[in-house]
Amino acid sequence: MSNPSILILPGDGIGQEVMAEVKKIISWYGDKRGLAFDVSEDLVGGAAYDVHGVPLADATMAKAQEVDAVLLGAVGGPKYDVLDFSVKPERGLLRLRKEMDLYANLRPAQCFDALADFSSLKKDVVAGLDIMIVRELTSGVYFGTPRGIFEENGERVGINTQRYTEAEVERVARSAFELAMRRNKKVCSMEKANVMESGILWREVVTRVGADYPEVELSHMYADNGAMQLVRWPKQFDVIVTDNLFGDILSDCAAMLTGSLGMLPSASLGAPMANGRPKAMYEPVHGSAPDIAGQGKANPIACILSFAMALRYSFDQGEEATRLEKAVEKVLADGVRTADLMGPEGGTPVSTAQMGDKIIEA
């Protein structure tokens, strides 16, 4: 059998720096643990525009469709701000998500003990927090039609349409329940069924899918209450499943429960491929951070934890994923910090590469 395949797209800015650490870790797996991957690398975002005049070449897109997992760094930078919208670096990312049909966006909010003081909340509210938000990524109000700015009775009106088909709700709900089965068997679905038709359908379909998972405890919450509960006592949740718009807001909110942007991984999953694994792209939540790019200051942990998610969800290596996460935890407990993780007490930060080396050592 051939090795599992990975397409690495480092992209722009600190994307290249943080991905360099993931590449070291991937090599380490091959050398030290007999877990070899077929790795290829290509351009995305501004880096692709510079060479091809487009933020994602067709050949790269085709390659992304074939591999077991795509790892993406970050795209964009001030140099590309002047470009036409159709060739902006971000369009490369959107094309990947759309053509791979990555409908389930998984964003964990996990608090490492050593960083619990970083949260804006009280330590006991966040210490030990480990929840997962599943956001529907390819439909809803961001894509529904009619949309546009129209002329109506002599004035302009801006219109977006919240729209979900049963099939769209069903597939993302199934992703959430499958996840819950591998976690703590609890799903909370969030919508606004009190005021929205799409919310009524959402609740109905999630409930129906839930019947296939009798071991999973399902609850429903209006999204506004959900936002409040997320900040009040986030540990009441395990998996939260919600639509594109609410998920956008709730996942950013959940993210900040845990501290630095440099710590947050994500996975975007699509339908199962012939080998049974989902189409998948893994990327840190943060962007290309032009303010610190090229200085060796970036925290590589978000990208490294994204690779841990790939180990778990694309390569059936849950134990290795946990080991990698434990290594991150240990390094943080030992007090190793990149600049973004330095508290007011100060200290000497390590570089991107030193952080990667420490994690490999651990």
Tell which residue, 249, 243, 217, 353, has the closest CA to residue 297.
353
**Closest CB to ligand ATP among 280 and 289?**
289
Looking at the Cβ atoms of 56 and 218, the one nearer to ligand ATP is 56
Stretch of residues binding ligand ATP (CB under 6 A), selected from 98-106, 135-143, 174-182, 290-298: 290-298
Among 8, 240, 267, 298, binds ligand ATP (CB under 6 A): 298
Angle at 104 between CA 210 and CA 45, to 5 degrees: 180
Map the footprint of ligand ATP across residues 126-185, applying CB under 6 A. Answer: none
Cβ atoms within 10 Å, residue 189: 28
Nearest-approach distance from CB 256 to ligand ATP, in angstroms: 12
Residue 135 assigned as binding residue? yes
Given the residues 31, 113, 212, 252, the one annotated as active site: 252
Per CB under 6 A, 302 contacts ligand ATP:
yes
Catalytic residue among 31, 117, 212, 224: 224
In contact, 180 and 187? CB cutoff 8 Å: yes
Query: Which one from 23, 101, 142, 330 is the annotated catalytic residue?
Result: 142
114: which residues sit within 8 A by CB, 6+ positions away?
329, 332, 333, 335
- CB 139, min distance to ligand ATP, A: 22
For residues 56 to 95, the per-residue mask of contacts with ligand ATP, x marking binding by CB under 6 A and - elsewhere, is --------------------x-------------------
* Angle, alpha carbons 60-64-65 (nearest 5°): 120
In angstroms, what CA-CA distances link 329 with 32, 78, 284, 301?
Answer: 20, 34, 17, 10
Q: Is 238 a catalytic residue?
A: no
Residue carrying structure tokens 């991984």: 265
The footprint of ligand ATP on this chain (CB under 6 A) covers a number of residues equal to 15
Q: Does 142 qualify as catalytic in the annotation?
A: yes
Half-sphere exposure (CA, 13 Å, Cβ side) for 124?
Answer: 0
Q: Does 107 bind ligand ATP (CB under 6 A)?
A: no
Does the protein bind ligand ATP through residue 287 (CB under 6 A)? yes
Whether 295 has a binding-site annotation, put simply, is yes
42 is annotated as contributing to ligand binding: no
Cross-strand pairs, 190: 221, 242
Phi/psi at 221 (nearest 5 deg)?
Answer: -145, 140
Q: Which of these segments, 44-52, 78-86, 133-141, 287-295, binds ligand ATP (CB under 6 A)?
A: 287-295
Burial class (CB in 10 A: 0-12, 13-18, 19+), 220: middle
Active-site residue numbers? 142, 192, 224, 248, 252
Q: Which residues bind ligand ATP (CB under 6 A)?
A: 14, 18, 76, 261-262, 286-289, 291-292, 298-299, 302, 340
